[in-house]
Amino acid sequence: MKLNLKVKLFVAILCLITFAICTTASSTESKPVRIDCDVHAGPCSANISGAKVSLEIEPKPVEAMKDLIFTVTFVGEKPVTNPYIDLGMPGMNMGRNRVILKPAGESLYRGEGVIVRCPSGRRTWKATLTVPEMGVAEFVFDVVY
Amino acid sequence: MLSTETIYFVIFSSGLAVGFGHCIGMCGPIVASLSLNLKGRSVLAPHLLYNVGRITTYGLLGGIMGATGSFTSVTAGIASLQKGVMVFTGILIIIMGLAMAGWIPLGSIFGDYYNPGGLLSRTFGKLSKTRSTATYYPLGMLLGLLPCGPVYTALIAAARAGMEAPSSLRGSLIGSGLMLSFGLGTVPSLLLVAKLADLGWLKRRDIIYKVSSVIMVILGVYFMVKGIRY
C-alpha cells in the first residue's frame, strides 16, 4: 500500500508528539527519582552553606490534599531573610506552589501549604527549600493518597 | 507580597508554562479525541467553545475558593463529583472512538449531521451543525472538573487570595479572576493539540480514523480505570 505525502507527514507529526509526551511527561518513570527522605517518620535533613537545615511536615502521615504545616529548623548559620519552599513533582510541571515561611522561634520557620494529588497516580514530590543569600536544599519524598 | 496585577500575570504565565509542560501530555489525548471526532470539520469554533467552557468552570471554582478561603474543604466536597467526571470522560472517549470508526450506529458524536440536498434539509443541516458545535461549551464546563494537579495548584492560590481579601465577595472576585487568568494561559497549548489532531487537510483519513478509534477505546478504558481508582 503506497501512502501519500500527507499521510506520511501526519504519521511523522504523531510520532513527534508521542516522543515529546514520552520524554517530558513520563520522564520520572524512565529515570527513577531517588527518594531521600521519609517525611512520615520524622524530619529530613540537608546542608546549605555550612548550616544544617531540617524539614518537618505535619500532620503525619503526610497526605495529599490536606492542610499541612511545614517547619524548617536551622542549626549553625541562620538566614538573613525568610526562607520559602516550592512544592513540585520531579520531571512534571505542576504549577507554582509556594509555601511562605515565617519566623516561629529561635532558628525556626513555619508555614502552611498543600501537596496536591496527581491523577496519574504518582506520589513522589519534591520540596525545594530556598534560603536567600545561602542557597537551596531539595527534599524528595513520597506522600500518601 | 505580590501586587494583585503581578499575581494575575504570574498565574497566567504559570498556566502558559503548565499548558505546554503538563496539559499536552495529560489532557492532550482528550482534546485530540474531540478533534478527531469532528471528522474534518473546522476545529476552531468547537475547541474555542470547549476552552471557554473549561475556563468558565475554573472561574466558578476560583470564585468558590476565593469566597471560602479554604482549598481543602472545597476539594473534599467535590472529590466524588470529580471521580465521576473522570469515569464519564473515559466512557465518552470510548463511545466517540467506536462511533468514529462506525463500529456503533451512533454516527459521529457532536459532529452528527448529514449532507442534505433540499433547502429545508440544508437549513436543518446547518442548525444541527450549530447545535452540535454548541455542545462543546457544556462539555468543556464538565471536563473542567477533571482532577488535575496544576489546576489544584492554581486553586490554592485562589483560596489564599480569598483568605487575604477584606470580604467574601472581594475574595470570590479575585479567586475567580485568578482562575480565569490561569485558564487563559492553558488555551494556546490545547488549541495547538486540537489543530495538530485535525485531519481536515488529509485526503486518506479512513485508515487513520480506524487506528485512532482503537487508541481512543484504549485511552477511554485507561481514564475509566484511573477514575475508579482515584
HSE, CB side, 13 Å, CA atoms: give it for residue B23: 29
pLDDT value at B197 more than 90: no
CA A38 to chain centre: 14
> For residues B109 and B39, what is the distance between their CA atoms, to the nearest angstrom?
10
A67 touches B: beta carbon within 8 Å: yes
> For residues A13 and B224, what is the distance between their CA atoms, to the nearest angstrom?
27
pLDDT value at A27 more than 50: no
B222 touches A: beta carbon within 8 Å: no
What amino acid is encoded at B222 in this protein? Y
Q: Are A83 and A131 in contact (CB under 8 A)?
A: yes
Residue B69 CB contacts under 8 Å (≥ 6 apart), including other chains: B159, B160, B162, B163, B165, B171
Residues of B in contact with A120 (CB under 8 A): 26, 226
Is the pLDDT higher at B117 or at B141? B141
A24 touches B: beta carbon within 8 Å: yes
N-terminal to C-terminal alpha carbon distance within chain B: 35
Shortest CA distance from B77: residue in chain A: A65
pLDDT value at A50 more than 50: yes
Report CA torsion sign: B192, B193, B194, B199. Answer: positive
Average pLDDT, whole number, for chain B? 84
What amino acid is encoded at B97 in this protein? G
Cis peptide, bond prior to residue A61, ω within 30 of zero? yes
Choose from A5, A10, A63, A122 for mutation: most chain B CBs within 10 A.
Answer: A10
> For residues B87 and B223, what is the distance between their CA atoms, to the nearest angstrom?
6
The answer to whether B150 contacts A117, with C-beta atoms less than 8 Å apart, is: no
Domain boundaries, chain B: 4-229
> For residues B198 and B32, what is the distance between their CA atoms, to the nearest angstrom?
8
Instruction: Enter the CATH code of domain A33-142.
Output: 2.60.40.1930
CA B153 to chain centre: 17
ipTM: 0.78
Domain boundaries, chain A: 1-31, 33-142
B106 touches A: beta carbon within 8 Å: no
B207 touches A: beta carbon within 8 Å: yes
pLDDT (0 to 100) of residue B25: 77
pLDDT (0 to 100) of residue B116: 46
pLDDT (0 to 100) of residue A10: 66
Q: What are the tens digits of pLDDT across the range B113-134?
A: 445 455 655 665 565 555 578 8
pLDDT (0 to 100) of residue B114: 45
Q: Are B159 and B35 in contact (CB under 8 A)?
A: no
Q: What are the tens digits of pLDDT across the range A123-136?
A: 999 999 999 988 99
Question: Contacts from A44-51 at CB under 8 Å and sequence distance 24+?
Answer: A44/A139, A44/A141, A46/A129, A46/A137, A46/A138, A46/A139, A47/A137, A48/A129, A48/A131, A48/A134, A48/A135, A48/A136, A48/A137, A49/A77, A49/A134, A49/A135, A50/A76, A50/A77, A51/A75, A51/A76, A51/A77, A51/A78, A51/A131, A51/A134
Q: pLDDT confidence of A30, banded at 50, 70, 90?
A: very low
Q: What are the tens digits of pLDDT across the range B156-167?
A: 999 998 888 999
Q: Are B197 and B39 in contact (CB under 8 A)?
A: no
Other Cβ atoms closer than 10 A to B61: 23
Element (H, E) at B115: none
pLDDT value at B209 more than 80: no
At residue B191, φ and ψ (nearest 5 deg) are -65, -35
What amino acid is encoded at B154 in this protein? A
Question: B223: buried, middle or exposed (CB in 10 Å: 19+, 13-18, 0-12)?
Answer: buried
Residue A116 CB contacts under 8 Å (≥ 6 apart), including other chains: A64, A65, A94, A97, B149, B152, B153, B156
Residues of A in contact with B152 (CB under 8 A): 65, 114, 116-117
pLDDT (0 to 100) of residue A9: 66
CB pairs under 8 A between A and B: 92
Q: pLDDT confidence of A5, banded at 50, 70, 90?
A: low
> Which of B14, B21, B199 is the closest to A24 by Cβ?
B21
Nearest to B88 by CA among B160, B139, B150, B137: B139
